[in-house]
Chain A
Amino acid sequence: MALDSKQDDRTHQFKVVGTRPPRPDGIDKVTGRARFGADMTAPGMLTGRILRSPHPHARITSIDSSEAEALPGVHAVVTRADFAHAVADAATADVLDNCMAGDKALYDGHAVAAVAASSPAIARKALKLIKVDYEPLPHVTDVDAAMQPDAPALHEGRANETVPAGLSPNVVARCAFGHGDIEAGLAQADRIVERTYRTEATHQGYIEPHACLASVGPDGQADLWCCTQGHYMVRNTCAEILGMDQGQLRVTASEIGGGFGGKTTVFLEPVALMLSKKAGRPVKMVMSRSEVLRASGPTASSSVDVRIGMTKEGRITAGFAELRYQGGAYPGSPVDMGAMAAFAPYDLENVKTVGWDVVTNRPKAAAYRAPGAPMAAFAVESAIDELAKGFGLDPLEVRLKNAAREGTRASYGPTYPAIGLEATLRTARDHPHWSAPLGPNQGRGVACGFWFNFGGDTCVTLNITPDGTVTVTEGNPDIGGSRASMSMMAAEELGIPYDKVRTVIADTGTLGQNEVTDGSRVTFAVGLATIEAARAAKREMCRRAAQIWGIEEEAVVWEDGAARPAGPNAGTHPPMSLAEIAAIASNTGGPIAGHHEVNAEGAGVSFATHMVDTEVDPETGAVKILRYTVFQDAGKAVHPDYVEGQFQGGAAQGIGWALNEEYIYGADGVLQNPGFLDYRIPVASDLPMIEPVILEIPNPGHPYGVRGVGETSIVPPLAAIANAVSEAAGVRLTHLPLSPPKVLDALKSK
């Protein structure tokens, strides 16, 4: 078939992409029919519960579960001793140790044992009958304290070869990026800002707690239902931990009640499988909110030193940042991502970042939306703002003067292709928000943000049904409307109406490997595979039409939902629609499908500029968000409603991070606020409308120009809000969250 040339011309008019149709899972979600992680049951199901360490750091000297096992209604007790299969991969071994502690409990809430019982009440009672002997050890929860040479050590020998000798064993990795000569650059500056910035750990705050239902048969075949961002990851990780064949474990993803990166690993699933295996019955486990906060995967807290020099004209002469992130009790904080993203929006001759990955007695960090980047952007964008305002320069113009553009060598190394940062800055400058008047105690802040975006392993199968409708089968949990986007891209490519396509998420037995729903990859990578699967189906349909017409395949094109003869010798056959070809598929060779399997490399980076107005109450230190506008490059917005939703949601999470949310550990190393009352995420009355402005600078790596949009939107808010509050308060604020006591202290110290 001669490919329809219009499809590769990104300037062509889309018919479906860019419209706002209803999502296929919508009715289920407004009627209560949608089944989330905790909504599944199985015959004979038991309740699983986890016993958690009350100590932040303790050696486990013995566990006696005999009384619990003897309690009527208890069917299994599991400890680390049950996970006897040797796990070769170091990162997976850490996941196992995090799911069920080995020799030591490493944080308040660390799992030490689990039970499966015939009712929740019996399970709770059984937990109280398990006797654990702990030998409490000194603990450390602060990143800077953990780096001190005499700090309590969590592990020995976990530092990799990048860490110089002589540091605390809690320092497990170092990274560095950049080019040029920092000292020479600083020497050209008219002014240098040098400050330390701190952020506290925050949680993704998804409203749905982790939940799963596991069923292991005596033949070794197992089924698992769970809420996750990636059921293929769950399958592979659990199979490795339990020593099972991946093919014997079928994982089905439920509807997912939020993830934001926090559901890209496992917490309960290996334990539920082990309980089910021992009990010979299905086992359901659901975390409480307190367990979610104490023992799932919040993001890192950070401490960042910045030195930036600027000329009085506003040109940045050098940028340096040293970032220290604690990622909980195991290696793997996102400090390398922060160190790469810190200066990514700027065109700098002299730039260097150094990152330190540090372990502390806190839960193992999981990814959180653009992991590592928001804290780095907070530090860098605060310093740039202070410099600009110190010279009396417009902070947007200063950013424009230094903005990275096509051909700029990024601070992390490569040269940028076409990117959208300047477009977001210019649009922000010309927006009425920028020139709107401010009242007393009010301030306006801006900040830029960057994220890489990813692709990865992806499979899509597209089946044509006998009546000419289409099913797209993909393997990535739909966390915010992606099924609608896949249906739209398939409809666009096939030239049929949106409502003739239904997209479903398959279990792990149906498709090959699929990377987790993360890295803002789904609309890009699954979209790409969907388009390619549709093209494969079109090629086959053209082949069938050519056979029927008795002409060469090359003489058939697909246009507007039908195969058509084209070219000088093709003849004058009437077009055959998709439905007409589908109806006689049995007579022309059998069912028609297209499929595409790919490691989708080549995702396009994205940039955003945020603008926010705040008002500070001088009596209480409370901050009110008055107005918020997001300017972001989406490449191509497939379903603009859900692109806007990503912009608004990222901004709202950033507002929470900037103003209220923080993990508070007492001197005893115990989390003091493991509930939504004290870990306060933004509520409806805290926020104004959030205006989303979508820009479209096409990604050359995608047939429709799509870039990921989900993560970039959480990068600028921390700095934008801190810049606005600093202006309103008349004093520079450098430690998030900007909770009323901190702002009040700053006002008093003016």
Chain B
Amino acid sequence: MSSIHVTTTLNGDPAEFLCEAEETLLDVLRDRLGHTGAKEGCGTGDCGACSVVVDGRLVCACLMLGAEAAGRSIETVEGMAEGDKLHPLQRKFLDHAALQCGICTPGLLVAAKSLLEREPDPDEEQVRYWLAGNLCRCTGYDKIIRAVLDAAAEMREAS
């Protein structure tokens, strides 16, 4: 086995790592780069717990190879807050109690941020369909949807 040397950008920081050809981006983030915010719930792209953004596009990190990160820009939940200032979505998730166990929360936050960058004024149905790829088993989604709609409203006012 010969490892592959990859240079990439992670949450704005230059990063490099060695990986095997078969390793997924999720494996690399978690096991090589110490970013365990993205979670593996299924490994088959069905649960969204590993949602990250690659060059502006929302992807399941378990469905992309680590070697494919070369030359790209990766954004994960660890990059959402600016210093000690939480992203409005993070704050609204806490205000609305939009998490119980919290395992799906990183993926949902990354996916919701991606939605609001495309559609700053989504209605409930748009939020529900955009987040349909992110499974949550604890909340029944009610408080998550409210948190996203509330964050969108606040972000619109601020802009």
Residues on A lying within 8 angstroms of B by beta carbon are 20, 22-23, 25-36, 38-39, 121, 204-209, 255-260, 286, 288-289, 479-481, 641-642, 644-645, 648-649, 651-653, 675-677, 681-687, 689-690
A255 to B129, CA, bound (A): 29
In the bound complex, do residue B137 and residue A653 qualify as a contact, i.e. CB atoms below 8 Å apart? yes
Q: A30-B94, A209-B40 are in contact. Are A648 and B143 (CB under 8 A)?
A: yes
In the bound complex, do residue A260 and residue B137 qualify as a contact, i.e. CB atoms below 8 Å apart? yes
B residues 119-159 touching A (CB-CB < 8 Å): 125, 127-129, 131-145
In the bound complex, do residue B137 and residue A645 qualify as a contact, i.e. CB atoms below 8 Å apart? no
In the bound complex, do residue A648 and residue B39 qualify as a contact, i.e. CB atoms below 8 Å apart? no
A579 to B30, CA, bound (A): 43
A39 to B95, CA, bound (A): 26
* Chain B residues in 8 Å Cβ range of A205: 137
In the bound complex, do residue A648 and residue B140 qualify as a contact, i.e. CB atoms below 8 Å apart? yes
Max chain B C-beta neighbours (<10 A), residue from A34, A204, A675, A677: A34
B103 CB contact (under 8 Å) in A208, A648, A681: A208
In the bound complex, do residue B102 and residue A648 qualify as a contact, i.e. CB atoms below 8 Å apart? no
B36 CB contact (under 8 Å) in A25, A35, A208, A682: A35
Q: A22-B94, A479-B100, A480-B101 are in contact. Are A30 and B86 (CB under 8 A)?
A: yes
In the bound complex, do residue A29 and residue B102 qualify as a contact, i.e. CB atoms below 8 Å apart? yes
B140 CB contact (under 8 Å) in A25, A30, A32, A652: A652
Look across to chain B and name the residue whose beta carbon is closest to the beta carbon of A692: B142
Max chain B C-beta neighbours (<10 A), residue from A31, A121, A479, A684: A684
Q: A32-B106, A683-B133 are in contact. Are A206 and B81 (CB under 8 A)?
A: no
Look across to chain B and name the residue whose beta carbon is closest to the beta carbon of A675: B44
B117 interface residue (CB < 8 Å to A): no
With both chains docked as a complex, state the minimum distance between the C-beta of B110 and any C-beta of chain A, in angstroms.
Answer: 9
B137 CB contact (under 8 Å) in A31, A36, A258: A258
A209 to B96, CA, bound (A): 26
* Chain B residues in 8 Å Cβ range of A642: 97, 100
B104 interface residue (CB < 8 Å to A): yes
B33 interface residue (CB < 8 Å to A): no
* Chain A residues in 8 Å Cβ range of B41: 207-209, 257, 289, 676
In the bound complex, do residue B102 and residue A645 qualify as a contact, i.e. CB atoms below 8 Å apart? no
In the bound complex, do residue B141 and residue A289 qualify as a contact, i.e. CB atoms below 8 Å apart? no
With both chains docked as a complex, state the minimum distance between the C-beta of A647 and any C-beta of chain B, in angstroms.
Answer: 8
Look across to chain B and name the residue whose beta carbon is closest to the beta carbon of A687: B141
In the bound complex, do residue A677 and residue B46 qualify as a contact, i.e. CB atoms below 8 Å apart? yes
A684 CB contact (under 8 Å) in B40, B100, B141: B141
* Chain B residues in 8 Å Cβ range of A23: 94, 97
* Chain B residues in 8 Å Cβ range of A204: 137
* Chain B residues in 8 Å Cβ range of A208: 39, 41, 101, 103
In the bound complex, do residue B97 and residue A207 qualify as a contact, i.e. CB atoms below 8 Å apart? no
With both chains docked as a complex, state the minimum distance between the C-beta of A671 and any C-beta of chain B, in angstroms.
Answer: 15
A481 to B139, CA, bound (A): 12
Residues on B lying within 8 angstroms of A by beta carbon are 1, 20, 22, 30, 35-44, 46-47, 49, 76-78, 80-81, 86, 90, 93-97, 99-106, 109, 125, 127-129, 131-145
Contacts A38-B30, A207-B104 known; list 15 others, CB within 8 Å.
A29-B105, A30-B90, A30-B94, A30-B106, A30-B109, A121-B1, A289-B42, A480-B100, A480-B138, A645-B140, A649-B100, A649-B138, A682-B140, A684-B127, A687-B142
* Chain A residues in 8 Å Cβ range of B20: 121
A289 to B46, CA, bound (A): 10
* Chain A residues in 8 Å Cβ range of B30: 38-39
* Chain B residues in 8 Å Cβ range of A675: 42, 44, 46
**Can you list 25 A-B contacts (CB < 8 A)?**
A28-B102, A30-B109, A32-B35, A204-B137, A205-B137, A207-B39, A207-B101, A208-B41, A208-B103, A255-B101, A255-B103, A258-B138, A289-B42, A289-B47, A645-B100, A648-B143, A649-B138, A652-B141, A675-B44, A677-B44, A684-B128, A685-B132, A687-B142, A690-B140, A690-B142
A30 to B137, CA, bound (A): 17
B105 CB contact (under 8 Å) in A30, A121, A206: A30
A208 to B106, CA, bound (A): 13
Look across to chain B and name the residue whose beta carbon is closest to the beta carbon of A293: B42
* Chain A residues in 8 Å Cβ range of B102: 25, 28-30, 34, 255, 257
With both chains docked as a complex, state the minimum distance between the C-beta of A263 and any C-beta of chain B, in angstroms.
Answer: 11
With both chains docked as a complex, state the minimum distance between the C-beta of B82 and any C-beta of chain A, in angstroms.
Answer: 12
In the bound complex, do residue A257 and residue B141 qualify as a contact, i.e. CB atoms below 8 Å apart? no
A666 to B129, CA, bound (A): 32
B100 CB contact (under 8 Å) in A20, A288, A481: A481
Q: A121-B22, A206-B101, A683-B132 are in contact. Are A676 and B139 (CB under 8 A)?
A: no
A166 to B79, CA, bound (A): 66
B128 CB contact (under 8 Å) in A206, A255, A480, A685: A685
In the bound complex, do residue B140 and residue A257 qualify as a contact, i.e. CB atoms below 8 Å apart? no
In the bound complex, do residue B97 and residue A20 qualify as a contact, i.e. CB atoms below 8 Å apart? yes
Max chain A C-beta neighbours (<10 A), residue from B39, B86, B101, B127: B101
Look across to chain A and name the residue whose beta carbon is closest to the beta carbon of B49: A207
With both chains docked as a complex, state the minimum distance between the C-beta of B142 and any C-beta of chain A, in angstroms.
Answer: 5
Look across to chain A and name the residue whose beta carbon is closest to the beta carbon of B148: A684
A684 to B134, CA, bound (A): 8
In the bound complex, do residue A649 and residue B140 qualify as a contact, i.e. CB atoms below 8 Å apart? yes
A34 to B49, CA, bound (A): 14
A121 to B19, CA, bound (A): 12
* Chain B residues in 8 Å Cβ range of A649: 100, 137-140
In the bound complex, do residue A288 and residue B43 qualify as a contact, i.e. CB atoms below 8 Å apart? yes
Max chain A C-beta neighbours (<10 A), residue from B39, B76, B125, B128: B39
A206 CB contact (under 8 Å) in B38, B125, B137, B145: B137
With both chains docked as a complex, state the minimum distance between the C-beta of A28 and any C-beta of chain B, in angstroms.
Answer: 8
In the bound complex, do residue B97 and residue A257 qualify as a contact, i.e. CB atoms below 8 Å apart? no
* Chain B residues in 8 Å Cβ range of A28: 102
In the bound complex, do residue A689 and residue B145 qualify as a contact, i.e. CB atoms below 8 Å apart? yes
A687 to B139, CA, bound (A): 11
In the bound complex, do residue B127 and residue A258 qualify as a contact, i.e. CB atoms below 8 Å apart? no
With both chains docked as a complex, state the minimum distance between the C-beta of A710 and any C-beta of chain B, in angstroms.
Answer: 10
With both chains docked as a complex, state the minimum distance between the C-beta of B123 and any C-beta of chain A, in angstroms.
Answer: 13
A676 to B62, CA, bound (A): 14
A417 to B12, CA, bound (A): 61
In the bound complex, do residue B140 and residue A207 qualify as a contact, i.e. CB atoms below 8 Å apart? no
Q: In the A-B complex, list the 3 residue pairs whose CB atoms are closest, starting with the nearest.
A: A32-B37, A257-B103, A652-B140
A684 to B131, CA, bound (A): 6
In the bound complex, do residue B140 and residue A651 qualify as a contact, i.e. CB atoms below 8 Å apart? yes
In the bound complex, do residue A31 and residue B140 qualify as a contact, i.e. CB atoms below 8 Å apart? no
A255 to B41, CA, bound (A): 15
A32 CB contact (under 8 Å) in B42, B44, B78, B94: B78
A205 to B135, CA, bound (A): 10
* Chain A residues in 8 Å Cβ range of B22: 121
A479 CB contact (under 8 Å) in B101, B105, B131: B101
A340 to B34, CA, bound (A): 49
In the bound complex, do residue B103 and residue A36 qualify as a contact, i.e. CB atoms below 8 Å apart? yes
In the bound complex, do residue A30 and residue B93 qualify as a contact, i.e. CB atoms below 8 Å apart? yes
A648 to B42, CA, bound (A): 24
* Chain A residues in 8 Å Cβ range of B133: 683
In the bound complex, do residue A31 and residue B101 qualify as a contact, i.e. CB atoms below 8 Å apart? no
A644 to B139, CA, bound (A): 9
Look across to chain A and name the residue whose beta carbon is closest to the beta carbon of B96: A641
Look across to chain B and name the residue whose beta carbon is closest to the beta carbon of A40: B36
With both chains docked as a complex, state the minimum distance between the C-beta of A11 and any C-beta of chain B, in angstroms.
Answer: 27
In the bound complex, do residue A30 and residue B99 qualify as a contact, i.e. CB atoms below 8 Å apart? yes
* Chain A residues in 8 Å Cβ range of B97: 20, 23, 481, 641-642, 644-645
* Chain B residues in 8 Å Cβ range of A257: 39, 41, 101-104
With both chains docked as a complex, state the minimum distance between the C-beta of B2 and any C-beta of chain A, in angstroms.
Answer: 13
* Chain B residues in 8 Å Cβ range of A35: 36
A252 to B17, CA, bound (A): 31
* Chain B residues in 8 Å Cβ range of A683: 131-135
With both chains docked as a complex, state the minimum distance between the C-beta of A449 and any C-beta of chain B, in angstroms.
Answer: 16
In the bound complex, do residue A26 and residue B94 qualify as a contact, i.e. CB atoms below 8 Å apart? yes
Q: A30-B90, A207-B103 are in contact. Are A36 and B39 (CB under 8 A)?
A: yes
